[in-house]
Amino acid sequence: MKQLFLYISILIVLLVSVGLHAQQAPAFTHYRDAQMLYNPAFAGMREGICVNGIFRQQWAGFKDYETNKNATPEDYLVTVDSPIRFLHGGFGGAIIQDKATYNWGDISLILAYSYHAELAFGTLGIGLGIDLKNRSVDGSMYRPVTDGDPIIFASSQGDMRFDANAGLYFKSADRYYVGFSITNLLKSTFVKLDPGGNGEISTDRTLYLIGGYNFFLPNDPRFGIEPSFLIQSDIVSTQYSVSGIVNYNGKFWGGLNYRFGESVGVLVGMHFKDLGIGYSYDVNTMRLGVPGSHEISISYCFKIKGDKSRTSYKNTRYL
């Protein structure tokens, strides 16, 4: 265990040493509900077939200064995962539409497998995934300084490429979890979208480190508190998020998320049996007159009866 925490500490120091700027990979305030997207080792870590959906509208109402077109970045994410006992692990998938702006967007289909090693103090997931990504750019919407610039497309173009993801995820037999993953390992280049032939239009290799701890008030176990963090970095830029969630009686929850140098988010939600609904609003702290961001998260888990693993996770958000 000491070695595990030592490795995690080294990773944190390495990531913190990188500068703090904007992050190109999709970033969610409900990042705990999006783990299947960026860590294949998370597949099957919950006791059931779980489906999650997240819609995020970044900087709602933001428009292009010159064209007055809606330039609000939007993300639509759906994930599903389940433990597969005879495969000694779990299987999962995700599909996401990442609309970066009015003329640039990605659609990705991700499939992942996680091998689960049962340890004395918890479960370790070792995961691999493949990512089929389609990227499209409508060059006709650009306003080039020089007419006929060969680097800028005159029409809509698209290209499709495969990439790979890998990760580790540890869930304790008690109350904490930690995960580390790398997405877009191959850093595939979209040849058709690079008329200059410089190989600069490619997927962004991104590192993720997530962790959290869930505990209950000793005098009132109806209240559960979960502090957590997410660090994501493409080495050029790094983003840090820290959250604190309070659960009441396994039915209602609320809290705050702070994305360093960017926003403060307020989260609220409720559970009805196996259905969970959450909403967050991010208030920007960049002092650039940028509007806030909306996010909705919906989850549903079909409980699997029968043989269960000898470890359990006591966070009500994942039950």
Query: Kindly report the CA angle at 222 between 218 and 228, in degrees rounded to 5?
Result: 80
Confidence check: pLDDT of 68 > 90: no
Confidence check: pLDDT of 273 > 60: yes
Dihedral angle sign, alpha carbons of residues 259, 253, 177, 82: negative
Comparing 60 with 208, the larger pLDDT belongs to: 208
* pTM for the structure as a whole: 0.82
Comparing 70 with 223, the larger pLDDT belongs to: 223
pLDDT digits (tens, 9 = 90+) for 180-225: 999 999 998 887 666 555 556 788 899 999 999 998 888 888 999 9
Determine the 3-state secondary structure of 31 from DSSP.
helix
Confidence check: pLDDT of 315 > 60: no
DSSP 29: T
DSSP 6: H
- pLDDT, position 145: 55
> In 206-286, where do the E strands start and end?
206-213, 215-217, 220-233, 238-248, 252-259, 263-272, 275-284
| 44/41 Cα distance (integer angstroms) | 8
Where b means 16+ CB within 10 Å and e means fewer, 11-20 reads: eeeebeeeee
| 187/202 Cα distance (integer angstroms) | 6
- Residues counted in the chain: 319
- pLDDT, position 302: 87
Confidence check: pLDDT of 111 > 60: yes
pLDDT digits (tens, 9 = 90+) for 1-49: 444 444 444 444 343 333 333 336 889 999 999 999 999 999 999 989 9
pLDDT digits (tens, 9 = 90+) for 137-171: 766 565 655 555 555 555 567 789 999 999 999 99
- pLDDT, position 292: 86
Determine the 3-state secondary structure of 302 from DSSP.
strand
What are the residue ranges spanned by the domains of the chain?
Answer: 2-318
Q: What is the 3-state secondary structure (H, E, C) of 70-137?
A: ECCCEEEEEEEEEEEHHHCEEEEEEEEEEEEECCEEEEEEEEEEEEEEEECCEEEEEEEEEEEEEEEE
Question: What are 228's strand-pairing partners?
Answer: 212, 243
Where b means 16+ CB within 10 Å and e means fewer, 50-64 reads: bbbebebbbbeebee
Joined tokens for residue 152: 């800028």
- pLDDT, position 15: 39
CA distances (Å), 194 to each of 99, 104, 159, in order?
19, 14, 10
Confidence check: pLDDT of 275 > 80: yes
Query: What is the amino acid identity at position 236?
Result: V
- pLDDT, position 22: 36
- pLDDT, position 198: 55
Fold classification of 2-318 is Porin (2.40.160)
